[in-house]
Amino acid sequence: MKPRKLTMFAIVAAMLATLTSASPVFAAAANVLNVNVNHGINGQGVDQPFGHVTVCTPGTNNCQRIGRLLIDTASFGLRIFAQALTVPLPTEKSGPDAIGECVFFGSSTAWGRVATADVKMAGEPTISNLPVQIINPQFPSVGHRPAACNRIGVPIARNPLQANFNGILGVGLVQFDCPACVSSTPANGYYACTSTNCTRTTEPLVL
Amino acid sequence: MIVVLFGGGLLLMGAPSIARATLGEPAASVAADAAQMNAAEGANTARLLPGLPAQNTPTSGNFTVERLTTPEGTVVSEYIGQSGVVFAVTWRGPTPPDVATLLGTYFKQYSDAANTGAPSPLGLHASSVHASDVTVETAGNMALMWGRAYLPAALPAGVNLSEIK
């Protein structure tokens, strides 16, 4: 009766980079994602590739195009800053609890709820009900980010200007971002959250 | 070597974050770290990830290395100089260790430095933070995390940073 929470992200994208120019020079084609290489939102970053996707409230035409997503070959799945999101995306639940995720990258940590979205990208058919992470250091409420997600020392990704991207489009060659989370609860994994408390939880794979 | 194997969870109840730690502390703090992290002393070689260079084999006689293995299989190496003080810590494995415990009193300094200024010029997956007394380098992706923290002023004479790996 309860919807199983979806956990893992599966994104497949073929990419074609347009070098450094601000606007794409290639016409949209199936299975091709135009990418811009630049210094990011705050202009202080190294050259990195950025792309865009369209996210929609599942089952609706309420959609938003989100650009400046860092194309990252060393992570998996779509992660979007809450501050960059304007369409409502439903939170994944475990019973009454909201699902949160903590992801450690080498230089920062992404924390926030897991939501579902219909995602359109690269001229491909819509991906329905894709689990995505909504990066938000204030989830589930101000001051209640789980301590386990804080004890690494690298900065928490706070907002697009600080992080230098609106989100991360992980295109690494792995289907699931945390296969071990099916049976274990590492700090860089999933959490079940009330409005003031998050505890580690396992998550099933979504195939 | 004393093998410290504590039952899961018990030590974390009642006395949160005692964190008698490591960096800059006497070698005896290694056992405290192991307890704090529910880690076993010694490297669990069966869980080392393949294809990685050998870790923490001293190549000079100026220090010794104590290893811990966290329940997640991450190997932590604590570098201890002849003075008996931990001057560096490294980790490698599927999930980072409790860095706050490992860095002890230096954690806040590191965290404050890491949280100010521009994003890492090394990109999303690596950073190098030079706080006033401690240097912390981290790198990783979702499957493998690596880190190295050391006290530049406490490096024993003759120890090259390349030996801390």
Q: What is the DSSP letter of B115?
A: T
Task: State the complex-level ipTM.
Answer: 0.76
Q: Quick one: which of A180, A94, A156, A84 has its CA closest to B142?
A: A180
Q: Is the pLDDT of residue A74 over 80?
A: yes
Instruction: Chain A: give the shortest CA distance to residue B61, in Å.
Output: 31
Residue B130 near residue B70 (C-beta atoms within 8 A): no
Q: Is the pLDDT of residue B57 over 60?
A: no
**Strand partners for A33:** A15
Q: Is the pLDDT of residue B35 over 60?
A: yes
Across B121-141, average pLDDT: 91
- B24 CB within 8 Å of a chain A CB: no
Q: Which pLDDT band holds residue B59 (cuts at 50, 70, 90)?
A: low
- B126 CB within 8 Å of a chain A CB: yes
Q: Is the pLDDT of residue A14 over 60?
A: no
Specify the higher pLDDT residue, B87 or A9. B87
Residue A94 near residue A38 (C-beta atoms within 8 A): no
Q: Are A188 and B118 inside 8 Å of each other by CB? A: no
Q: Is the pLDDT of residue A191 over 50?
A: yes
Residue A198 near residue A191 (C-beta atoms within 8 A): yes
Across B2-14, average pLDDT: 34
Across A14-39, average pLDDT: 63
CA angle B153, B35, B66 (to 5 degrees): 45
Q: Are A106 and B138 inside 8 Å of each other by CB? A: yes
* pLDDT of amino acid A28: 60
- B135 CB within 8 Å of a chain A CB: no
Q: What distance in Å separates the CA atoms of residue A33 and residue A47, rounded to the nearest whole number?
A: 18
Q: Are A186 and B95 inside 8 Å of each other by CB? A: yes
Query: Sign (positive/negative) of CA torsion B8, B9, B15, B16?
Result: positive
Across A152-160, average pLDDT: 85
Across A193-203, average pLDDT: 96
Bond prior to A140 in cis (omega within 30° of 0): yes
* pLDDT of amino acid B45: 43
Q: What residues contact residue B84 under an 8 Å CB cut-off, 6+ apart?
A: B26, B27
CA angle A170, A171, A177 (to 5 degrees): 60
* pLDDT of amino acid A179: 84
CA of B140: which chain A residue's CA is closest? Answer: A106
* pLDDT of amino acid A27: 56
Q: What distance in Å separates the CA atoms of residue B152 and residue B129, rounded to the nearest whole number?
A: 12
Q: Is the pLDDT of residue B55 over 80?
A: no
Q: Quick one: which of B78, B74, B76, B77 has its CA closest to B49?
A: B74
Q: Which pLDDT band holds residue A121 (cuts at 50, 70, 90)?
A: very high
Extract the runs of DSSP E, i.e. beta strands, from A19-75.
33-38, 48-56, 63-72
Question: What residues in B contact A153, CB-CB < 8 Å?
Answer: 99-100, 103, 107, 110-111, 114, 136, 138
Q: Is the pLDDT of residue A202 over 60?
A: yes
Q: pLDDT by residue (tens digit) across B88-116? A: 999 999 888 889 889 999 999 998 888 88
A132 burial type by CB count under 10 A (0-12 exposed, 13-18 middle, 19+ buried): buried
**DSSP helix/strand/coil, A66:** strand
Q: Quick one: which of A81, A74, A148 has its CA closest to B146?
A: A74
Q: Which pLDDT band holds residue A15 (cuts at 50, 70, 90)?
A: very low
- A153 CB within 8 Å of a chain B CB: yes
Question: What residues in A contact B120, CB-CB < 8 Å?
Answer: 106-108
* pLDDT of amino acid B73: 87
Q: pLDDT by residue (tens digit) across A86-114? A: 999 999 999 999 999 999 988 889 999 99
- B49 CB within 8 Å of a chain A CB: no
Q: Quick one: which of A79, A66, A81 has its CA closest to A170?
A: A79
Across B102-131, average pLDDT: 87
Specify the higher pLDDT residue, A111 or B33. A111
Q: Is the pLDDT of residue B15 over 50?
A: no
* pLDDT of amino acid B42: 64
* pLDDT of amino acid A51: 96
* pLDDT of amino acid A59: 97
Q: Is the pLDDT of residue B3 over 50?
A: no
- B140 CB within 8 Å of a chain A CB: yes
* pLDDT of amino acid A133: 97
